[in-house]
Amino acid sequence: MINSTKEAFNRLSVNFDTLSINQKTSLEKDGFCLIEFSIKDWQDRGINFNNVSKTVDKLIDDEGWKGGWEHISEKMKKGFHPEPGAQRLNNLLNKGSCFRKLFIIPEILAGSHALIKNDMCLSSMILRAPQPNSGRQNLHIDWVPRKKETDPFRSVICAILLDDVTKESGATRFVPGSHKFLGEPKDYGFGDENPHPNERYLEAPRGSCLIYSGHLWHGGTECKNGKKRRQIFINYRDRKVWQSLNMKKFLNDKLIKNLNDAEKYLLKVRPEDPSQIEWFFKRRNNKLIKIMFDFLWNLEDIKKKKFN
């Protein structure tokens, strides 16, 4: 039985040396780190990278505008993508055995935990690919803004690059070190599509894996050359907060049955894991519900600190 992230990591051979000192320093100081995996590195981790890319293309063909709506199905509009200008897919774990091992890549687990520093679980595994001449996003963060220095980092994103990424094909822009800023870009007058004076574009070859804090200021840029720029995003979150996709509800029973104990723990699909209450989840952006859950989550952190 696995009852903590530490136990899951022991089972999955994730340890203090999984990431290099440079990678850990970069995560801490800059809020991101890039791991340049080769296709062979993926093979060594049990992943057929070409098969992943092909399966993604097939799913894009099959789903089209219907792709990526699973976590916000109540807002689905016929003929519209959930994000205008980008193709999305969601619930990848359920849609192909080639995706099955992506969420337990040791470097992804170690990098996520280096920032979350708490028990964690998978929130979602999605695909995003900007369409030609589209895909520019406002500078934003992917989680609730921190209000004070002691507020924790509760969300980490790992982008797996299925294609070479260049400035012309829509590299993501980042502001290094901004994960430590309180609030969000719009509080500082930067919450739009305009360039930030300190932004950097992340160009990297196919196979690379970019791990970054959900609080890092970032934004997709437009795919000017029309080349494919597919990325799988694996999002880990502090275990006590919402899963973007309720895995208990969305993963099929056969898949869950075939998971090992560590995987069941990380997906939060063990019988003892409380089911996410959909009524609250759908209303998670309501001001009162936000305040209430923020209070409860902080209370849990305080309790944990007291007993440790």
CB of 81 vs Fe ion, minimal distance in Å: 16
Report the distance separating Cα 81 and Cα 87, nearest Å.
7
Both structure tokens of 278? 């959909």
Question: With respect to Fe ion, which residue has the nearer C-beta, 2 or 216?
Answer: 216
CB of 157 vs Fe ion, minimal distance in Å: 7
CB of 27 vs Fe ion, minimal distance in Å: 17
Question: With respect to Fe ion, which residue has the nearer C-beta, 142 or 151?
Answer: 142
Phi, psi of 201 (to 5 degrees): -95, 140
Q: Per-residue x/- mask for Fe ion, residues 133 to 152, rule CB under 5 A?
A: ---------x----------
Question: With respect to Fe ion, which residue has the nearer C-beta, 113 or 128?
Answer: 128
CB of 201 vs Fe ion, minimal distance in Å: 15
Q: Which of residues 280-299 bind Fe ion (CB under 5 A)?
A: none
Residue with the two structure tokens 């309180």 = 182
Report the distance separating Cα 46 and Cα 103, nearest Å.
12
Burial of 149 (0-12, 13-18, 19+ CB in 10 A): exposed
Report the distance separating Cα 308 and Cα 306, nearest Å.
6
Report the distance separating Cα 293 and Cα 280, nearest Å.
9
Report the distance separating Cα 267 and Cα 247, nearest Å.
6
Question: With respect to Fe ion, which residue has the nearer C-beta, 142 or 192?
Answer: 142
Question: With respect to Fe ion, which residue has the nearer C-beta, 68 or 264?
Answer: 68
Report the distance separating Cα 157 and Cα 160, nearest Å.
10
CB of 278 vs Fe ion, minimal distance in Å: 24
Distance of alpha carbon 197 from the chain centroid: 26
Q: Total number of residues binding Fe ion (CB under 5 A)?
A: 1
Q: What is the DSSP letter of 95?
A: G
With CB atoms as reference, the residue minimizing the distance to Fe ion is 142
For the sheet containing 120-130, what is the strand order?
A: 32-35, 209-213, 155-161, 231-238, 120-130, 86-89
Report the distance separating Cα 219 and Cα 201, nearest Å.
10
Question: With respect to Fe ion, which residue has the nearer C-beta, 135 or 207?
Answer: 135
Question: With respect to Fe ion, which residue has the nearer C-beta, 2 or 156?
Answer: 156
CB of 216 vs Fe ion, minimal distance in Å: 9
CB of 218 vs Fe ion, minimal distance in Å: 6
Q: Which of residues 220-279 bind Fe ion (CB under 5 A)?
A: none
Assess contact for 81 and 246: CB atoms under 8 A: no
CB of 274 vs Fe ion, minimal distance in Å: 27
DSSP-based three-state secondary structure for 132: strand
Question: With respect to Fe ion, which residue has the nearer C-beta, 47 or 139?
Answer: 139
Asked if 300 is part of the footprint of Fe ion (rule: CB under 5 A), the reply reads no
Task: Using CB under 5 A, list all residues that contact Fe ion.
Answer: 142
